[in-house]
Amino acid sequence: MSKVEEILENYYNQGKEKDRLIKDKAHMVEFLTTVRYIDKYIKKKDRILDIGAGTGIYSLYYAKKGYKVDAIELTNANIEEFKKNIKPEMDIKVEKGNALDLSRYKDNTFDITLLLRTNISFV
């Protein structure tokens, strides 16, 4: 495990990501604003790649709306939490992966890519 992966695993094992965007109205602003702008551009039947999906709040939201979603996430803690919330009717696939290596995906596979960051400091 790299030093960055170790830091991320330790951070996410504290449960900080799970409710980050939904813990109160102030934090929901980020989610609602982001979704509003994505919705302006996304079309029916678009396929989504969510890079660094965290616990899956955006992936799950769009899969619930009927979109096919592939998600990659670096940390096991987030992947476990993400998978707990996938419903059978959702067309969603989550895998452990790194944004620096997307070779598992063929070119021109996705119509929209999400790459949203959090405020983690590695200092």
Structure tokens at 83: 């998978």
Q: pLDDT digits over 2-56, tens only?
A: 777 777 666 655 555 566 666 677 778 888 888 999 999 999 999 999 999 989 9
- Give the single-character DSSP code of 114: E
Residue 81 has which token pair?
């939490």
Q: What's the mean per-residue pLDDT of the chain?
A: 85
Tokens of 119: 């405020």
Domains and CATH numbers, the chain: 3-115 (3.40.50.150)
Q: What's the pTM?
A: 0.80
Q: How far apart are CA 90 and CA 34, in angstroms?
A: 21
CA-CA distance, 7 to 119, in Å (whole number)? 13
